[in-house]
Amino acid sequence: MKQIIAVHDLSGFGRCSLSVVMPTLAAMGVRACALPTAYLSAHTAFPPCPHSVFLDLTAQMEATLAHWEELHARFDGFYSGFLGAPEQMEILERCLSHQRRDGFLAMVDPVMGDGGKPYRTYTPQLCRKMAELAAHADLITPNLTEAAILLNEDYDPSPAPEKAAAWLRRLSLDGRRSVILTGLSLTGDTLGAGCFAREAGRVEFAQAPLAHGVFSGTGDLFASVAFGKLLAGESLPAATQAAVDFVSLAARTTLERGGDPVEGADYEPLLYLLAPKKI
């Protein structure tokens, strides 16, 4: 069974980060070992209140990795997302260099913002550190806001395919890493992603029916499905299409069931669709 390190916050209310990553990868037959970066009472799309909890877990991350080293724990991959403090990047860079071996897959989702704006906990220093961590990845999965931050460009909510392809190539750092750029809408009623696979050196696009609404945590759902498919040996374009299809279905199902997009997509009843065909 594949075993990976999942580095994200745990948000108690609202579906995102570890509360999405762990069930999704488990459904795909992958054992995800959690390295939580922070505990939040609710994710940051909800308005803060005097009782909001944001517990920075940087010290516990360092101790946890030291414990795992004592246990000689070895992993097939690494998936990081929402990070809580700049010091966490250095801890993760050390973790990556310790775990790397043949066949290891390091995916950094450079979670920093959405809709053209950074999330409220992301300072410019944290964004710079995220770019440094992402330089160690085999694959990054930015949305359009994060791509603009990484490239130091203006945010463009609907780039033409040629512009998206140019950004994908630039984000690959001269073909050293693969890239999935999410949140791309190529026609008025579809939404999806573009990918650049470093092995093939080619850009491809994937689209699925658009569900109207701003859904929290769908980037985490997307990255989890794509990562699970890659670990199962699928190609980057196939993994990208599978993630686009699953997120579209979960978002449309949420609207049909009258769910509130800020609480995330109703993906749980659909997880059976991701189960591996062979065990």
> Which one of 145-153, 158-166, 184-192, 215-223 is the stretch in contact with ligand PXL (CB under 6 A)?
215-223
**C-alpha–C-alpha distance, residues 129 and 89, integer Å:** 6
The answer to whether 15 contacts ligand PXL (rule: CB under 6 A) is: no
H or E element in which residue 214 lies: none
Question: Is 224 a binder of ligand PXL (CB under 6 A)?
Answer: no
- If one asks whether residue 17 binds ligand PXL (CB under 6 A), the answer comes out as yes
Please select the residue that binds ligand PXL; options are 219, 228, 237, 259, rule is CB under 6 A: 219
The residue with its CB nearest to ligand PXL is: 44
Sole window of 27-35, 39-47, 66-74, 191-199 interacting with ligand PXL (rule: CB under 6 A): 39-47
Among 222, 230, 160, 224, smallest CA distance to 192 is for: 222
Residue 40 contacts ligand PXL per CB under 6 A: yes
Segment near ligand PXL (CB under 6 A); pick from 40-48, 87-95, 225-233, 269-277: 40-48
Residue 140 touches ligand PXL, criterion: CB under 6 A: no
Q: Which of residues 154-173 bind ligand PXL (CB under 6 A)?
A: none
Q: Count of residues for the chain?
A: 279
Q: How many residues bind ligand PXL (CB under 6 A)?
A: 15
Q: Binding residue for ligand PXL (CB under 6 A) from 146, 204, 220, 263?
A: 220
Q: Which residues are CB-contacts of 146 (< 8 A; sequence separation ≥ 6)?
A: 110, 111, 112, 113
Q: Which stretch binds ligand PXL (CB under 6 A): 8-16, 163-171, 183-191, 201-209?
A: 8-16
Other C-beta atoms closer than 10 Å to the C-beta of 171 total 21
Name beta bridge partners: 118. Answer: 113
The answer to whether residue 147 forms part of the interface with ligand PXL (CB under 6 A) is no
The DSSP bridge partners found for residue 139 are: 107, 178
- The CA angle 63-109-158, to the nearest 5 degrees, is 160
- Going by the DSSP 8-state scheme, the letter that residue 275 receives in this structure is S
User: Per CB under 6 A, does 45 bind ligand PXL?
Assistant: yes
Which of 91, 111, 144, 231 lies at the binding interface for ligand PXL (CB under 6 A)? 111
119 touches ligand PXL by CB under 6 A: yes
Q: Tell me how far, at minimum, the Cβ of 140 lies from ligand PXL, in Å.
A: 15
Task: Report how far residue 164's alpha carbon sits from residue 183's, in angstroms, rounded to the nearest whole number.
Answer: 11
- The residues binding ligand PXL (CB under 6 A) are 9, 11, 16-17, 40, 43-45, 82, 111, 119, 216-217, 219-220
